[in-house]
Amino acid sequence: MRWSTSKSVVGSLEGADVVTVLVGEEQREFTIHRKLLSDSCAFFKGHIDAIPSPSRQRKEDGEEEDSVLWLPNEAPDMFEIFVLWLYQRRRFPTFIDGATQGMCQDKLRTLRTNLVRLHLFAAIIDLPALQDAAMDAIQDMYLRFDWDMSPHFLAFLYGECDAQHAVRLRKWAVAMLAWSLHSVDKPQARHDADKLFVAYPELKADYHMHLQKMAQSRADVRIKNPQLRLPANGLRSGERLFGFRQCTFHSHRAAVGEGTCPHALALGQTPTPPPVPGPDKEEVESDKEEAEIISPVGNLNEVSYLDLS
């Protein structure tokens, strides 16, 4: 069973003030609580406010007509993950973690692809909390499965994505590329990178800027792993050697400094203690065809998917 909020699946929404979202050219249907979606960001609020609520919208035969919003250019599988995040923000990392258990490589990379799409979608609609949740999930997947940064992924980020929307993904991908190329001698990977540098001058410039910042902070690019998302921003000197701060690739990185991640606070996580005083060293901030994603959730009742408490 899928975990989209399709009317055919979700009976508990009957009678509630809801909006129907049609996603993609195939118009896959998601039925979502109107207020929850409207309150998530200005993008949805603006579109939903323009639609009469079901209580005021009637068909000619007197039956209630659902509010409808169509997102023709988005991927339904990505939007499934968005709806999961919308209803279960605190449990979202657990769901994504559980989704990867026992998945084959093709399904794992499809999930990765949809998390990348989710990050870009969040950037487009200006929803930073979702953008950062997707970034965390992507980093965690790469760490768990020890993936390298593929040429296909880099070509996608620099050849097909808007630079503003993909800025965090690009910074992380460049850090991954530098770490991979310097940690192990990989002639084919270096050859692929050289070809990408020719094809995408922006990538080459970002790569060299990353190396310069790493050198300025006296970090060893061979061991500072961008997959390793350390659960604090105020790191001790030894910790700085091996991983990146919790918010290094978050949308709010510059504003937070070494303070606690605002998303961690929102999720009820314990704030990290203040860092030990000292000089601050500023950090730098797959290749399969798309397949159908395996849902991280098998049973709606089992995970209390529609529990709004």
Q: Over the stretch 108-145, which tens digit does the pLDDT of each residue have? A: 989 999 999 999 999 999 999 999 999 999 999 999 99
**DSSP-assigned beta bridge partners for residue 31:** 20
pLDDT in tens, 57-73: 554 444 444 568 899 99
pLDDT in tens, 208-266: 999 998 888 888 888 888 888 777 666 566 666 777 877 888 887 655 556 667 766 66
With the C-alpha atoms ordered 37, 43, 47, 49, is the resulting torsion angle positive or negative? positive
User: Is the predicted pLDDT of residue 277 greater than 50, yes or no?
Assistant: no
Q: Is 45 part of any domain? A: yes
Can you give the pLDDT at residue 235?
Answer: 58
- Mean pLDDT for the chain overall: 76
Q: Is 228 part of any domain? A: no
Higher-scoring residue by pLDDT: 207, 59: 207
Residue 223 token pair: 């061991």
pTM: 0.77
CB 17, CB 33: distance < 8 Å: yes
| CA distances, 152 to each of 156, 166, 174 (Å) | 6, 15, 13
Residues 6+ apart with CB under 8 A from 171: 206, 210, 249, 284, 285
Q: Is 193 part of any domain? A: no
Can you give the pLDDT at residue 248?
Answer: 83
CA distance 177 to 182: 9
| Domain that residue 66 falls in | 1-73
Taking residue 99's Cβ as centre, other Cβ atoms within 10 Å add up to 21
Can you give the pLDDT at residue 305?
Answer: 28
Q: Is 83 part of any domain? A: no
Q: Is 292 part of any domain? A: no
Total of domains in the chain: 1
Can you give the pLDDT at residue 104?
Answer: 87
User: Is the predicted pLDDT of residue 292 greater than 90, yes or no?
Assistant: no
CB 225, CB 243: distance < 8 Å: yes
Residue 142 token pair: 């790469």
Q: Is 18 part of any domain? A: yes
**In the structure, what pLDDT confidence band is assigned to residue 27 with cuts at 50, 70 and 90?**
very high
Higher-scoring residue by pLDDT: 102, 78: 78
User: Is the predicted pLDDT of residue 100 greater than 60, yes or no?
Assistant: yes
Q: Is 245 part of any domain? A: no
Q: Is 140 part of any domain? A: no
Taking residue 58's Cβ as centre, other Cβ atoms within 10 Å add up to 12
**In the structure, what pLDDT confidence band is assigned to residue 267 with cuts at 50, 70 and 90?**
low
Can you give the pLDDT at residue 282?
Answer: 38
Range of lowest pLDDT (174-183, 216-225, 266-275, 298-307)? 298-307
